[in-house]
Every structure is written in C-alpha cells, then in structure tokens.
Structure 1
C-alpha cells in the first residue's frame, strides 16, 4: 500500500492559492481514495497506480490555465493492507498514551 503526500501549486501572481487547492481537492475527493488534507499538502492512500493517477488528474486539472506548476511528492510504500494513515497515528498515540490533534 502506498501513502503519497504531495502539494501542487501553480506559479501565479495571486497571493492566495486556495482556488487551486480547492480544484485539486475536488479531484482527490472524487477519486474515492482515502486522503487527509493538511495545511501544507494532502496525503492519499491506495495502490501505486491509483495514487499516481490521482496526482496526474490533479496536474491535468491545473494545466488548463496554469502555465507553470510546482509539485512536491513524498511516497512511502509498505506491503500490506490499507488504513496505514490511521494505523500510523494510532501507533504513536498508543506510545504516548493519549489522543493527538490530527
């Protein structure tokens, strides 16, 4: 199972990137994959082909009117079932003995 964390941003003159982030999140949400939005990016979980297809779809959603796009991508693969986003957090919370703000 793959955990992929990424951010994708067009180089525009506008200070706020929220409209572009919303466009990308719409693609991610409609993909049906598990995801977690963070202030600095988004984590999606699935098999390799699924998560890479979502990244490609996000790029395609921006390229229509964005002549330059920057992307940062981190990938963690581990054989086994999904729900790693949840299980990784639960493991740390168990060690600490309390719930964390996530």
Structure 2
C-alpha cells in the first residue's frame, strides 16, 4: 500500500488541475485507491506496482513543471486483500465509526 502526494510547486496556489491528472491515472490503473485531502492511497499487490504508479505520476507532471514535490509512505505486507478496509474496520471495531 502506498500513500503519496505529488504536485508541481511552480503553478500557483491551486494545483488541482495537475493533481486530477495523477488521480485519473491512478483510477485507470484498476487498483483500489482512495483520494484524501492530503494524499492518494493506492493498494497494489507488489512494491513494484506501487512504484510504477508513483513513477507514472511523476512522468505525467514532468512536462508541466520545473519542480515537483513528492511525499511517499509505504506499508509493505506480504498479503493481498482489502487492507485499506481492514485497517479502518480494525480501528472501528475498537472505537466505533470514524467517518461521517
């Protein structure tokens, strides 16, 4: 599972035009994903697939910017399945619903 934020730093205060191109690519990848206000989380089967998504995101932005910000966090577990949902359900089983 990879959580990443990537955007051009030289396009002003709003970069949603560029972020949406990245999210569109993630959506078309077929992997399970979740867009959050601060990052996009993608659940892949391998580290290589996760890194491919990140690299594709960079390649999408590269022609549009002289400087790109990238923050990346990975949770690598040798198990497949709906880990995003499992993590949320595990917390909710202890404290109740966490989303509105």
TM-score range, shorter chain: over 0.9
Which residue of 1 is the match for residue 4 of structure 2?
6
Secondary structure, counterpart of 1:6 in structure 2: strand
Q: How does 1:1-102 map to 2 (within 5 A)?
A: 3-46=1-44, 47-96=46-95, 98-101=96-99
* Alpha-carbon separation, structure 2, partners of 1:22 and 1:13: 14
* Alpha-carbon separation, structure 2, partners of 1:13 and 1:51: 26
* Alpha-carbon separation, structure 1, partners of 2:52 and 2:38: 21
Q: Identify, as 1 or 2, the structure richer in strand.
A: 1
* Alpha-carbon separation, structure 2, partners of 1:13 and 1:84: 35
How far residue 61 of structure 1 moved from its aligned partner, in angstroms, is 0.3
How far residue 14 of structure 1 moved from its aligned partner, in angstroms, is 1.5
CA root-mean-square deviation: 1.2
* Alpha-carbon separation, structure 2, partners of 1:89 and 1:36: 12
Alignment size in residue pairs: 99
* Alpha-carbon separation, structure 2, partners of 1:39 and 1:13: 18
* Alpha-carbon separation, structure 1, partners of 2:22 and 2:11: 19
How far residue 67 of structure 1 moved from its aligned partner, in angstroms, is 1.1
How far residue 82 of structure 1 moved from its aligned partner, in angstroms, is 2.2
Q: TM-score, normalised by structure 1?
A: 0.91
Secondary structure, counterpart of 2:94 in structure 1: helix
Give the unaligned 5+ runs of structure 1: none
